[in-house]
């Protein structure tokens, strides 16, 4: 019993969650005869800390890292709360804050650059290590793809780590003390917190309808605006298709997509157009058009029809898409447009079509 209490005390003092320690000590494989013999001759807490960390194969992380707490038995949600708590109480600036570098004599601009050189997702990280801008962008893409594959693998191997990280998951609220039924009701309430019915009930008929309409208009102004072709961002379908395409490309080149999408400025219309996928050296552009947002003729039969979300006629939307293509062509690019419905019906054929277009 003495060794169990001792080990428990050492682990808890080093940040381990008590329930996690109890489960470790209940395991027949954690402490063995060698540990008991060693305990009889050495009761140094620092020595036992090293011994236990080695036994647990514990990696070195700071308390400002979620992994520090996860390896000590806390859930993802609890780990984030503990990290945020430690950040709030930290008084001295860290190397990831401008104040840290400014205090060492760097200008604000130099400080921002220094911070960016710490993250592999920043171009500055790679440029500071001797890579060109194009090489840096390639490095970032490779790093992001590698991390994406690691995360996907981790989710498949340990799905339990991702069951309580979002407010729309039952276990997120169960961790906060709710029953399963209460958690389900909580999620349902949050998903309909701004319905027309709730606004009317809360503010009265006239004021409620006004607030709801203002909220909808505000949302549309953020998503659909003069600085984008149709909508801001890229659909999951489009992103998945382009990722599949990139994996099949077997020749070198500069490929711009996702967060590195190509923009072409258009002074005549005082705006810029962005393109889904660009092969710079080949002067090729691929546009993946959603059936709904870009008004697929198979769905939208009449030019005079008004799109209920965008609040423009089908004719105006198609003219804008055509203008966008003509602008790219004026800049020396060939453009291939792929419809969402074609991808869903014949994905393999659509991928081959894009590959042939890029090669020729």
Q: Are residues 145 and 214 in the same domain?
A: no
Position 246 in a domain: yes
Q: What is the extent of the structural domain holding 262? A: 236-359
Per-residue pLDDT reduced to its tens digit, 291-314 = 888 999 988 888 888 887 777 889
222 has pLDDT over 50:
no
CATH number at residue 301: 3.40.960.10
1 pLDDT band, cuts 50/70/90, is low
| pLDDT of res. 227 | 40
Q: Are residues 260 and 151 in the same domain?
A: no
Q: Are residues 217 and 300 in the same domain?
A: no
Q: Where is average pLDDT lowest: 10-24, 232-246, 322-336? A: 232-246
Contact 68, 15 (CB under 8 A): yes
Angle between helices 347-359 and 236-248 (to 10 degrees): 60
Q: Are residues 278 and 219 in the same domain?
A: no
Q: Are residues 135 and 204 in the same domain?
A: no
Position 117 in a domain: yes
Position 263 in a domain: yes
| pLDDT of res. 289 | 92
To the nearest 5 percent, what fractions of the chain are helix, strand and coil? Answer: 55, 10, 35
Position 118 in a domain: yes
168 has pLDDT over 60:
yes
Q: How far apart are CA 331 and CA 16, in angstroms?
A: 60
Per-residue pLDDT reduced to its tens digit, 39-78 = 888 888 888 888 888 888 877 677 777 888 888 888 877 8
180 has pLDDT over 70:
yes
Contact 214, 196 (CB under 8 A): no
Q: Measure Cα distances from 101 to 17, 95, 104, 120 in Å.
A: 35, 7, 5, 19
Q: Are residues 245 and 338 in the same domain?
A: yes
Contact 317, 307 (CB under 8 A): yes
| pLDDT of res. 232 | 41
Position 81 in a domain: no
First to last CA, the chain: 75
Last residue of a domain, one of 133, 157, 181: 157
Position 182 in a domain: no
Last residue of a domain, one of 131, 157, 183: 157
Q: Are residues 249 and 338 in the same domain?
A: yes
Q: Are residues 246 and 150 in the same domain?
A: no
**pTM tops 0.75:** no
Q: Are residues 108 and 201 in the same domain?
A: no
Q: How far apart are CA 62 and CA 96, in angstroms?
A: 14
Position 36 in a domain: no
| pLDDT of res. 223 | 43
Average pLDDT of the residues of the chain: 82
Position 28 in a domain: no
Question: Which DSSP string corresponds to 100-168?
Answer: HHHTTT--HHHHHHHHHTT-TTSHHHHHTTT--HHHHHHHHHHHHHHHHHHHHHHHHH-GGGGSSSSTT
| pLDDT of res. 140 | 87
Number of domains present in the structure of the chain:
3
Q: Are residues 296 and 263 in the same domain?
A: yes
Q: Are residues 206 and 293 in the same domain?
A: no
Q: Are residues 242 and 348 in the same domain?
A: yes
Cα 270 versus chain centre, distance = 31
The predicted model gives 193-211 an average pLDDT of 74
């Amino acid at each position: 019993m003495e060794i169990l209490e001792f080990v428990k005390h050492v682990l808890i003092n080093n940040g381990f969650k008590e329930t996690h320690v109890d489960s470790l000590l209940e395991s027949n494989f954690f402490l063995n005869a060698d540990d008991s013999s060693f305990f009889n001759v050495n009761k140094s807490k620092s020595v036992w800390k090293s011994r236990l960390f080695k036994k647990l194969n514990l990696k070195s992380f700071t308390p400002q890292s979620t992994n520090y707490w996860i390896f000590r038995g806390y859930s993802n949600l609890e780990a984030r709360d503990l990290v945020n708590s430690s950040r709030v109480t930290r008084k001295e600036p860290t190397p990831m804050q401008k104040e840290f570098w400014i205090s060492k004599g760097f200008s604000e601009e130099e400080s921002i650059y220094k911070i960016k050189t710490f993250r592999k997702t920043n171009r500055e990280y790679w440029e500071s290590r001797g890579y060109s801008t194009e090489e840096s962008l390639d490095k970032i893409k490779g790093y992001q793809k590698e991390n994406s594959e690691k995360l996907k693998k981790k989710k498949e191997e340990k799905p339990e780590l991702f069951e309580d990280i979002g407010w729309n998951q039952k276990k997120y609220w169960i961790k906060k003390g709710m029953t399963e039924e209460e958690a389900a009701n909580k999620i349902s309430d949050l998903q309909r917190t701004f319905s027309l019915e709730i606004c009317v009930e809360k503010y009265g008929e006239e004021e409620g309808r006004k607030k709801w309409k203002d909220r909808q208009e505000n949302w549309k102004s953020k998503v659909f605006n003069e600085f984008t072709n149709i909508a801001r961002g890229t659909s999951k379908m489009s992103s998945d298709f382009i990722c599949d395409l990139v994996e099949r490309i077997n020749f070198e080149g500069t490929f711009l997509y996702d967060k590195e999408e190509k923009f072409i400025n258009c002074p005549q219309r005082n705006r810029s157009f962005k393109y889904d996928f660009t092969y710079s050296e080949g002067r090729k552009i691929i546009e993946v058009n959603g059936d709904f947002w870009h008004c697929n003729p198979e769905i939208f039969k009449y030019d005079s029809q008004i799109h209920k979300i965008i609040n423009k006629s089908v004719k105006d939307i198609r003219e804008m898409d055509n203008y966008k293509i003509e602008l790219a062509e004026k800049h020396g690019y060939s453009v291939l447009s792929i419809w969402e419905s074609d991808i869903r019906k014949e994905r393999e054929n659509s991928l081959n079509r894009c590959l042939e277009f890029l090669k020729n």
